[in-house]
Structure 1
Amino acid sequence: MIEIKFYENKDHYKEVMFVREDVFIREQGFSTDEDEIDNHCIHVLFYDDNKPFATGRIFIEDGNTVIGRVCVLEDYRGKGYGVQIIRQLEAKAKEMGASSTHLGAQVQAKEFYEKLGYTEYGEIYYDEYCPHIHMKHVL
């Protein structure tokens, strides 16, 4: 059974990092995935029979509501969970009073976000070796 849970503290952090480390470090080759933002954001976790398999986070930065660290374990891809993560975080953003959401997309995932109504802005930038682009969606 699929469950979706939001967390505002670090009691769940081991589960969040289980998913993020598998995707961002082991699969994509980033050297680290933890940062100071994890201490003050809201995480969403998707579970299948109590096993975490997808996650994302939302936080406020410079007055913008930012979505980040969206990832799904390989066995669960292609089933719409990435879209569900974004929609869950957008709903949370609305609850927080946001009128738009921002994110830094890996360039290879830009088309995924465009299909969800996001538009790019600014220049391409690099997070470690990986090109990213800023994107925004009006809620």
Structure 2
Amino acid sequence: MRVGVAGPADWPEVVALRTRVFVEEQGVPPEIEQDEHDATAVHAVARDDGGRVVATGRLLVGDGRALVGRMAVDAAVRGRGHGAAVLAELHRQAVRLGLPEVELHAQVGARGFYERAGYIAVGEEYEEAGIVHVTMRRRLDDDTPR
């Protein structure tokens, strides 16, 4: 597995993966899957041994805050560490930018994945894009989640 920050050449594979996961599998309307934040976000990808993008996520930074989102892993490789590797890369990028904490809107079905990565839920569950989510946060400047 290779993990790193995505470049412009990776974008077609990122879009294809996100479309498979969010639009085709989860029924997210295609018109809201991509947004204006994609242009300014830091995107991370994990590639399988054949060089194919099998996991992706993005980091939005603004007003001293970091928001992880659009985490998608190809169904064929789920549970093999690709998503965790992308999340760790996004954490590295946030630290590099001097951000002490990251936040995300986790689908409740993925809550355990994020808890294992040190996130804790804050607030109540809510619906986003027709899917129940919960906001979660993790400290990056020490090992204590908040």
TM-score, scaled relative to structure 2: 0.87
Letter in 1 for 2:88: R
| Alignment match, 1:5 | 4
Q: Deviations over 1:58-90 (max 9, x none)?
A: 111443111111111011111111111111110
TM-score, scaled relative to structure 1: 0.91
| Alignment match, 1:60 | 61
Q: Which has the higher strand share?
A: 1
Q: State the alpha-carbon separation in 2 of the partners of residues 93 and 5 from structure 1.
A: 13
Q: Which runs of 4+ in 1 moved over 6 A?
A: none
| Alignment match, 2:40 | 40
C-alpha contact 2:121 2:134 (8 A) present in aligned 1: yes
**What is the total number of aligned residue pairs between the two structures?**
137
| Alignment match, 2:126 | 125
Quick one: percent identity of the two aligned structures? Answer: 33
C-alpha contact 1:46 1:54 (8 A) present in aligned 2: yes
Gaps of 5+ in 2: 141-146
What is the aligned counterpart of 1:19 among 17, 20, 43? Answer: 17
Gaps of 5+ in 1: none
Matched position secondary structure for 2:46 = strand
| Alignment match, 1:88 | 89
Matched position secondary structure for 1:29 = coil
